[in-house]
Amino acid sequence: MRGLLFLLILILIFSTVNAKYQCKSLRGKSVDWFVVYKLPKLTGSTTGKEFVYIDSDSSDWTRGNDINDPNVAIGATISQMYSADKSNNFLFMYSDDDPIKPADSYRGHAKGVSLFDSTTGFWLIHSVPNFPPMKTYSYPNTAEKYGQSFFCSSMEVQHLAELAEHWKYIQATPYLINVPEKYAIRFPTLKNVEAKQSIPRSATQFWISKPIKTVQGVTLMAYAKHKKFDGDIWNDIISKENKVTLAVESWLNGSGDDIHTTCTSSSQTHDVTEMRVTGLNFASSKDHSKWAVSNTQTNPIVCFGDMNRQRSQLKRGGGALCIQNRNLWQIYHSSVIQVEPCKGSSRYSLNSFIQTAVFCLFVSVTV
């Protein structure tokens, strides 16, 4: 009898733990964090639905064949939103290019999803326009052509204080937001986010960084810049603050007037031009993702964010979430095949013409 009672208690505890809102794995189980790289549509290789996945419990990419599956990783994580009780849970979907109205080029260039109950929740940063839908999970056909990035982190509810401040700074644009009274009282900045209220006109600080811990105690660093910062989050904040050279993959297509590789006395940030992911090579022109990797294993940083390295983005808000993880760093570091180098030496004018070459600074590092 005692054994049966003990078993029932264990089952109850296990069920309660799994009921908490967190990032979900390929099998729909809770994980501390995960990364998904949706592969671009490549003739003869991919259809635009394939992706690779890695999480806190794995050591390398695992291939997935259908980003549209509601029961796998991205789909399983976001689908928690649709069944959540709005009277007791915080829900937030934000995007500058959401599924229900025209793109907003004034507010923050940022896309994400977040859901919390009174104990835990998740924050998913992504790069996909017109995604996700408000009522049921699906992946848009319009986002199959290019590569896309996703970073999900599970965290305890108290970190909504830091997240709210982050979203306020970047001017995140909500298209679905639900802030029950108990959350509004505990985290009043969430009401500013809901009302699209950013920093006051009297503010003099135009970027912030906040440490955030995952459920399992991994410290992430969240960087946010307001449009008044008028700078590049990758080079002018993340590279300088961490004293590392960065390789950044971001959207450089179209007429956005690219910033180009930046090399100064205090920072160095290179645009990725070609990468290799699980044996597939593709150019940055086929990739809409936004990520960065440092050049040194002594500070093995990988960041996932919102911003492209284009001049139009300098005057818009946006952010990035960075993790220091040697294994993930090794995977991203080795995926960089080519970058746009500094011109001639480690110093050059941003207006100068730059040739594309092998990313010597990165591939020569001993790992």
- Residues forming the active site: 288
| Phi, psi of 165, deg, nearest 5 | -65, -40
Contacts (Cβ under 8 Å, ≥6 apart) of 92: 112, 113, 114, 115, 167, 174, 176, 177, 178, 193
- Report whether 265 contacts 124 (CB < 8 A): no
Sheet of 51-55, strand order: 62-64, 51-55, 33-38, 148-156, 120-126, 111-116, 90-95, 174-178
Cα(40)–Cα(7) distance, rounded to whole angstroms? 47
Amino acid letter for position 179: V
Quote the Cα angle for 259-260-265, to 5°. 95
Q: Count how many residues are written for the chain.
A: 367
User: Which helix (H) or strand (E) element contains residue 167?
Assistant: helix 160-170
